[in-house]
């Protein structure tokens, strides 16, 4: 296997794919307002996986979100329809929750899409997870995505976040931006391509 290549079974559902997963780029935020991936998303791969490590916001209870640009567009304001739910349990064991979060979904909206919200900003608090984007270079179909994150919630919960949906454009997508709902952040994001 070439350097940086791994089996896709290490990503997502084990045993579903035996295709090669190739590390395309790594970006590290250090008190950054955003991380933008403006190259590497091409027709070479039909699935892209973003992996997030130690995402720590400067602002307590901030949300990590993303938006995209279609080819030739700017402003990170493509139309998204999405769904979002969460499972959580607090440190004392006195409270737990499983439910749909209407404030983090979109119905043909152009806002930044939440991946995880209410991340604690303490030195030992962070979020980790992944976002899958499918066939972004298609000029026929909308662009599907799903994500799953685990986070140290600002109110001392272990939280598990799920989002999914589609970007409603038949133009190719070639840029993606990640940022907090408020303030800057630290952490690392890796971009992988699935052949």
The pLDDT value recorded for residue 11 is: 52
Q: Which domain holds residue 95?
A: 23-194
Residue 125 in domain? yes
**What is the distance between the alpha carbons of residues 33 and 97, in angstroms, rounded to a whole number?**
31
Mean pLDDT to the nearest integer, 75-82: 98
Residue 7 in domain? no
User: Are the CB atoms for 127 and 149 separated by under 8 Å?
Assistant: yes
User: Are the CB atoms for 21 and 159 separated by under 8 Å?
Assistant: no
**What is the distance between the alpha carbons of residues 163 and 122, in angstroms, rounded to a whole number?**
25
Helix, strand counts (H, E) of the chain: 0, 13
Residue 69 in domain? yes
CATH number for the domain harbouring residue 104: 2.60.120
Residue 106 in domain? yes
pLDDT above 90 covers what percent of the chain? 89
Residue 159 in domain? yes
**What is the distance between the alpha carbons of residues 193 and 5, in angstroms, rounded to a whole number?**
9
Residue 15 in domain? no
Mean pLDDT to the nearest integer, 14-19: 51
Q: Quote the number of domains for the chain.
A: 1
Residue 165 in domain? yes
Mean pLDDT to the nearest integer, 156-176: 98
Per-residue tokens: 171: 């133009």
**Model confidence, pTM:** 0.91
């Amino acid at each position: 296997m070439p350097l940086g290549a791994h089996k896709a079974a290490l990503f997502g559902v084990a045993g579903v794919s035996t295709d090669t997963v190739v590390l395309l780029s790594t970006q590290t935020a250090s008190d950054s307002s955003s991380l933008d991936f403006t190259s590497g998303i091409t027709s070479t791969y039909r699935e892209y996986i973003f992996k997030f490590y130690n995402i720590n916001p400067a602002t307590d209870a901030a949300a990590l979100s993303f938006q995209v640009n279609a080819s030739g567009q700017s402003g990170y304001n493509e139309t998204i329809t999405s769904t979002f739910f969460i499972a959580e349990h607090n440190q004392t064991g006195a409270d737990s929750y499983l439910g749909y979060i209407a404030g983090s979904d979109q119905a043909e909206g152009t806002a930044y899409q939440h991946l995880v919200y209410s991340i604690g900003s303490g030195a030992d608090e962070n979020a980790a997870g992944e976002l899958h984007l499918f066939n972004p270079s298609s000029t026929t179909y909308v662009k599907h995505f799903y994500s799953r994150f685990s986070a140290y919630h600002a109110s001392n919960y272990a939280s598990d976040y799920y989002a999914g949906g589609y970007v409603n454009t038949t133009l190719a997508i070639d840029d993606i931006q990640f940022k907090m709902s408020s303030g800057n952040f630290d952490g690392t994001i890796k971009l992988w391509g699935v052949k």
